[in-house]
Amino acid sequence: MLRTHTCGELNISHLGQTVTLCGWVQKSRDLGGTTFIDVRDRYGLTQLIFNTDSDASLREKSRGLGREFVIKVTGNVIERASKNTKIPTGEIEIAVTDIEVLNAAKLPPFLIEDETDGGEELRAKYRYLDLRRNPIRNNLVLRHKMAQEVRKYLDKLDFIEVETPVLIKSTPEGARDFVVPSRMNPGEFYALPQSPQTFKQLLMVSGFDRYFQIVKCFRDEDLRADRQPEFTQIDCELSFVSQEDILNIFEGLTRHLFKTVKGIDLVELPRMLYSDAMRLYGSDKPDLRFGMEFVELNDIVKGKGFSIFDNAELVVGINAKGCANYTRKQVDELTEWLKRPQIGVTGMIYCRYNEDGTLKSSVDKFYNEDELTNWAAAFNAEKGDLMLILAGGADKVRKQLNELRLEMGSRLGLRDKNTFAPLWVVDFPLLEWDEESGRYHAMHHPFTSPKPEDIAMLDTEPGAVRANAYDLVINGTEIGGGSIRIHDRGLQSLMFKHLGFSPEEAQKQFGFLMDAFEYGAPPHGGIAFGFDRLASIFAGLDSIRDVIAFPKNNSGRDVMIDSPSTIAEAQMTELKIKTTV
């Protein structure tokens, strides 16, 4: 080894020792006849001291060291005169006797500091420099610890880690596939897996019983803060289990990670029906760090001559505690925020419960104070509260009110990143209607099993059929989802029929799986956690990018290596491909 110790290792117990360190120059300071240099590696930072009285030529050499130079130094551990209690090495410094520049460095385009002056785009271009910063490196260390604890937990429960193929067959449903041309099979393409779904089911048919994989998945979809074109799942499948077994095992994994990585003891995770989540929060991934549940008002506001309420399918609102002092300007600003195209609200009604006990609404022309008192009772409002109400089509207005609820939670400081509110959402619908295509789609995927007691409704009322499906939600983010699978060819064929597949299409796309079901497929089910999302929540981040070593931007580009890019014409010819761009 070129070094005897790391830059985060030395302390007062090493006084008098001769040591050799290697690392990057963080910064240097000249004070009279003395130069101080901080040298850094992934383990920490150590101060070096060069003194004219001790070695003038060595001190002069040290003054030529710029930021991010890679150096090797040898010297003696001495006690610092001015100690720094904020770092583990803050009681000592190295009186340097020899220095070697291993590699000089250009001045970096931004400061390699915890608080940098580099913008997001610049840091993405020089991601290898951004990764030197403590916050980013610490995120990846956290991710590593989480991965190790996942493996430990699952290994103890007899799960086997199995790698599944990356070059697979393109299948419909879900997001768009990334496709890969086959040189040896001209005109044919592989697809990159959106998940290992069919392979993990085939492993159950193979008798592997308990499988897991920390696996790369690929989806060609529009990006946002919690999406990347390539992402990582903790993918799991089990045989001879019920939904209850899976919830218990993976609640155990969740609690294990919180305990071992964050030092947090989680209580038993609550469970919520999908129907209740939508009714009370307008979302299948409710943020339970705060209340502000929806209150439906149809029974007490209709029939008073206010057409917006009278003509609405649903009138529903939330109680913003302590917000009666919002000015008209603040309420108008909130209304304009709701009118943005991505939310699409046409207007908002409000009612203040003033500290003097009076009630004042934006629709006083239609509702007297006695009627507003009924509103306040429905909301369990108290003096100082502000009731915010939307009206419209039920599904649409619930989604809009969900956005308002989350925004008010943020404005009121109720979404603390150091508070964690996990829950299971269960009993999802099996199918959801798609207006554009005019047919039903699988809400999760085509292999999800309907609840046995609902199978008869597939022919009569398909939208009412419930799935043996479940999601793990933490702080309003879907972290994982899974289901009990179909393991019978007949039922799987019926499912494909209701999804609009002809028997020939189903056989072409999924015949290999249905054929396998005829050779003794066991009952099975599973779950997949979004590992990047889970790591970002543990790190207290809004975006998953900073828990990924080399992420893509919102356009799906890696600006560091300039990818995607064109390829040589010779490669295109070899692959028998032409572009029309």
pLDDT 10s digits, 268-284: 999 999 999 999 999 99
Measured CA to CA, the distance from residue 200 to residue 208 in angstroms comes to: 9
Question: What is the spatial distance between Cα 262 and Cα 281, in angstroms, rounded to a whole number?
Answer: 28
Give yes or no for a cis peptide into 109 (omega within 30° of 0). no
- Residues pairing with 18 in the sheet: 76
Amino acid identity at 575: L
- Which DSSP string corresponds to 303-372? TSS-HHHHT-SEEEEEEETT-TT--HHHHHHHHHHHTSTTT-----EEEEE-TTS-EEETTTTT--HHHH
Beta bridge partners of 146: none
Mean pLDDT of the chain: 94
Helix (H, G, I), strand (E, B) or coil at 236: strand
Pairing of strands 271-273, 422-426: parallel
Query: Residue positions in the annotated binding site for L-aspartate?
Result: 173, 219, 444, 485
Give alpha helix (H) positions in 365-483: 369-379, 394-411, 457-460
Q: Is 475 left (phi over 0), alpha (psi -120 to 50) or beta?
A: left
Query: How far apart (Å, rounded) are the C-alpha atoms in residues 495 and 507?
Result: 13
For 339-378, the pLDDT digits (tens) are 999 999 999 999 999 999 999 999 999 999 999 999 999 9
In b/e form, how buried is each residue of 122-150, taking b as 16+ CB within 10 angstroms? ebbbbbebbbbbeebeebbebbeebeebb
Structure tokens at 383: 């003096």
* Nearest CA among 64, 10, 20, 143 for reference residue 537: 143
Cβ(59)–Cβ(51) below 8 Å: yes
Which residue in 174, 154, 178, 176 sits closest to 166, CA to CA? 178
Q: Within 10 Å of residue 341's Cβ, how many Cβ atoms?
A: 5
Q: How far is residue 320's CA from residue 303's CA, in Å, rounded to a whole number?
A: 26
Is residue 80 over pLDDT 70?
A: yes
pLDDT of residue 232: 97
φ, ψ at 110 (rounded to 5°)? -150, 165
* Predicted pLDDT of residue 28: 95
| Position 567, amino acid | I
pLDDT value at 91 more than 80: yes
- Output the six-digit token pair for 356: 């003097």
Let me know: does 393 contact 313? Beta carbons within 8 Å. yes
pLDDT tens-digit map of 197-208 = 999 999 999 999
Length of the chain: 581
Q: Angle between the 394-411 and 274-281 helix axes, to the nearest 10 degrees?
A: 70
Q: Are 91 and 11 in contact (CB under 8 A)?
A: yes
- Check residue 2 and give its pLDDT: 96
Annotated binding-site members: 173, 219-221, 228, 444, 478, 485, 530-533
Pairing of strands 179-181, 160-161: unpaired
Kindly tell me the burial class for residue 192, based on how many C-beta atoms sit within 10 Å of its own C-beta (0-12, 13-18, 19 or more). buried
Please check whether residue 55 is in contact with residue 102, taking contact to mean a CB–CB distance below 8 angstroms: no
Question: Which whole number is the average pLDDT over 228-238?
Answer: 97
> In this predicted structure, what is the pLDDT of residue 496?
86
Taking the CA atoms of the chain, what radius of gyration do you get in angstroms?
30
Say which residue, 222 or 452, is predicted with more confidence.
Answer: 452
3-class SS of residue 269: coil
Work out the average pLDDT over 292-305.
95
Q: From its phi and psi, is residue 238 left (phi > 0), alpha (psi between -120 and 50) or beta?
A: beta
Give pLDDT, residue 221.
86
pLDDT at 501: 85
- Cβ atoms 88, 14 nearer than 8 A: no
Give 507-551 pLDDT, tens digit per residue.
888 889 999 999 999 999 999 999 999 999 999 998 999 999 999
The answer to whether 258 and 393 are in contact (CB under 8 A) is no
Residue with tokens 């392979």: 199
Going by C-alpha positions, the residue among 294, 290, 323, 292 that lies closest to residue 399 is 294
Q: Which of 190, 184, 175, 305 is nearest to 230 (CA)?
A: 175
The confidence score (pLDDT) of residue 445 equals 85
**Given this model, what pLDDT does residue 173 score?**
58
> Mean pLDDT across the stretch 232-250?
97
Banded pLDDT at 225 (limits 50, 70, 90):
low
How much is the pLDDT for 174? 66
Contact indicator for 504, 494 with CB cutoff of 8 Å: no
Q: Per the annotation, where are the binding residues for ATP?
A: 219-221, 228, 478, 530-533
Query: CA–CA distance from 229 to each of 92, 177, 187, 538 (Å)?
Result: 47, 10, 24, 21
Q: What is the pLDDT of residues 371-429, one digit of tens each?
A: 999 999 999 999 999 999 999 999 999 999 999 999 999 999 999 999 999 999 999 99
Where is average pLDDT lowest: 335-339, 360-364, 458-462?
458-462
